[in-house]
Structure 1
């Protein structure tokens, strides 16, 4: 049964949490996804079996949380994650960020490094509102967005189109992480599939070339798509978390 947290900004955030050893693990989902997704539940099952503290949450406008999706932006969802991690976890956490959740995890590492013990990203999509959306829009789409306040994009995951709002694009410009140096002074494992139609491999390469840190690795899976949810991919996520924890606890990773 989900519990709820009211953030300092007044948003009501749904979450599921289990107790266990620290550092705990926090799963941060993607754009329009929720905490009941395959990767979140698989990682929670691993955490239960391992006796590891674990947290998953719905950003505002997602899943069971308050608010409308179209009213939200990257900064809102970062604030939701920051509030949940601050209020609901003890000490630094290993953040597992999927797609947009990878961007939010990187924002956490920049804004609250004392709460980040390690990082695992899955098809991370940093700065996607600027580089993947605005940068790819036609002049007609840009004009529609600016004049009407929104533009519709086809979705590979639903019959309903993605509605992209002007606020999502403009607010995102204040949250970009690839425009200035980003230090990640802890174990980082980045996972990426070669058949990802939403986040190309080039994004993962750009990210690993951009960030700085002593223990950062990119693992590329030939044939994996953006969902990264096959049994083998789920096992790789689990193993990556185990290796980050092992590095933090003095073992080989």
Structure 2
């Protein structure tokens, strides 16, 4: 979708136009990274923005390319593109940031931390889905679906609206972005949130991330009955509490 002229935007070094909203305030700024085919107008992003305004905290939300109001088609994108978009968005800010990553955004937050650890003061993940293109999508495909994908793309049903279009580029490029195969150093506070009723990202993924990452201060919170949206009032309050906890650790 092309950018609405009333929404601020910037152009990445790769030439993609990214729509964003920036709330001025004190640092470290909080940056929200959304999920696969979601946009910056989602419940969690808006809730965090209101909290940031009320508390005087700098806050940034944006649409990856191919999402929301940013340029390009969704099917043109891949994990690497959206990671580059996130890095460029963080480049709008001065100093260190707290990254809040939801679902795919959790994976991208880990890529950001690996690529620019000097910019990250802490991470909060919500139903993080690291390596999902390989471990969930590709691993879950039948032989027929794998053959269809190699010819171009596969459509998967989604309870959130239109089918997800999985492209060959998404899968193949994603293999260059995996974070659970090699050492993953996260030298700052990390809070991971996971619902027990999440059918999109299993609890085993959260446990695998907890065991794999090397962090001096990493905690996993399981919420009984919470689903992948993680957007009811209690879950939203827990996200804010987790962000405040990280901020309290880093000053």
Map of 1:30 onto structure 2: 35
Q: Tell me, in whole angstroms, the C-alpha distance in 1 between the residues paired with 2:54 and 2:189.
A: 23
Match of 1:155 among 155, 158, 161: 158
Map of 2:202 onto structure 1: 200
Alignment gaps of 5+ in structure 2 = 1-5
User: 1:126-141 alignment to 2 at 5 Å?
Assistant: 126-141=130-145
Deviations 1:99-146 (A, max 9, x none): 000000000000011110000000000000000100110111001111
Q: CA RMSD in A?
A: 0.6
User: 1:70-149 alignment to 2 at 5 Å?
Assistant: 70-86=75-91, 88-147=92-151, 149=152
Q: Tell me, in whole angstroms, the C-alpha distance in 2 between the residues paired with 1:107 and 1:7.
A: 17
Deviation at 1:2, TM superposition (A): 2.3
Map of 1:187 onto structure 2: 189
Map of 2:179 onto structure 1: 177
The two structures have a TM-score, normalised by structure 1, of: 0.96
Map of 1:46 onto structure 2: 51
Tell me, yes or no, if structure 1 residue 18 matches structure 2 residue 20.
Answer: no
Give the 3-state SS of the residue equivalent to 1:161 in structure 2. Answer: strand
Deviations 1:6-27 (A, max 9, x none): 0000000000001111111000
Deviations 1:47-81 (A, max 9, x none): 00110000000000000000000000000000001
Give the 3-state SS of the residue equivalent to 1:227 in structure 2. Answer: coil
What is the count of residue pairs matched by the alignment?
246
Give the 3-state SS of the residue equivalent to 1:199 in structure 2. Answer: coil
Moved over 2 A (4+): none
Deviations 1:165-184 (A, max 9, x none): 00000000000000100011
Alignment gaps of 5+ in structure 1 = none
Q: Tell me, in whole angstroms, the C-alpha distance in 2 between the residues paired with 1:161 and 1:65.
A: 20
Q: Tell me, in whole angstroms, the C-alpha distance in 2 between the residues paired with 1:2 and 1:132.
A: 34
The two structures have a TM-score, normalised by structure 2, of: 0.97
| Richer in strand (by share) | 2
Q: Tell me, in whole angstroms, the C-alpha distance in 1 between the residues paired with 2:246 and 2:237.
A: 14
Map of 2:14 onto structure 1: 9
Map of 1:230 onto structure 2: 232
Q: Tell me, in whole angstroms, the C-alpha distance in 1 between the residues paired with 2:113 and 2:119.
A: 8
Q: Tell me, in whole angstroms, the C-alpha distance in 2 between the residues paired with 1:90 and 1:132.
A: 36
Give the 3-state SS of the residue equivalent to 1:59 in structure 2. Answer: coil
Deviation at 1:157, TM superposition (A): 1.0
